[in-house]
Amino acid sequence: MRTRSSSHLLLLVVIVGVLLWSSADVASASSWVPTIAAGSAGEAHAQAQPSAPTGVSAVCTSSAGKTIKVTWSAVSHATSYSIYKSTTSASSGYTLTASGVTGTTWTSATLSNATYWFEVAASIGTFWASPNSTGSASHIISGSGCV
């Protein structure tokens, strides 16, 4: 027959054992190293958001043509760029016109008659994008070409 003090002693031994076993798990968890399997779509964002591209310029490819070439300065670590165009104004109405551009130059398809402005955004990976650049100077596409 056990006494009350021996029951308390047994309970104390069990609690200490559980605590020691738990602390061993915590110690081993502290050296845990995460890995990503090949082909994984995971991304880390350990750096600041990319800055907006600078030096955005839009030029007519020819006076008689109806295409515009947009160029900009590279952004550090950018993996691609997106180009936005507006026929509304230099400060609003921009819509995505091209994405996944890997260089610092893009030429439009043949444009319809309108006044155009362009902005560029840089991307690092799939989900990490910069703000849009400031708008380029305007260019007018008319029946006679690009001005």
User: For the residues of 48-79, what is the DSSP string, one character each?
Assistant: PPPPPP---EEEES-SS---EEEE----TT--
Name the DSSP letter for residue 47.
S
Query: CB 86: neighbour CB atoms within 10 A?
Result: 21
In a domain, 80, yes or no: yes
Q: What is the structure's pLDDT at 126?
A: 85
In a domain, 87, yes or no: yes
Q: What is the structure's pLDDT at 76?
A: 93
In a domain, 36, yes or no: no
Side chain identity, residue 99 = S
Report the candidate in 98, 112, 116, 118 with the shortest Cα–Cα distance to residue 66.
Answer: 112
Task: Identify the domain containing residue 127 by its residue range.
Answer: 58-146
Q: What is the structure's pLDDT at 36?
A: 63
Domain containing residue 74: CATH number: 2.60.40.10
In a domain, 28, yes or no: no
What is the number of domains present in the chain? 1
Q: What is the structure's pLDDT at 97?
A: 98
Q: What is the structure's pLDDT at 39?
A: 67
Q: What is the structure's pLDDT at 3?
A: 58
Tens-binned pLDDT, residue by residue, of the chain (147 aa): 555 666 666 666 667 665 555 555 544 555 555 566 676 665 555 667 899 999 999 999 988 889 999 999 999 999 999 999 999 999 999 999 999 999 999 999 999 999 999 999 999 988 889 999 999 999 999 999 998
In a domain, 48, yes or no: no
Q: What is the structure's pLDDT at 48?
A: 77
In a domain, 42, yes or no: no
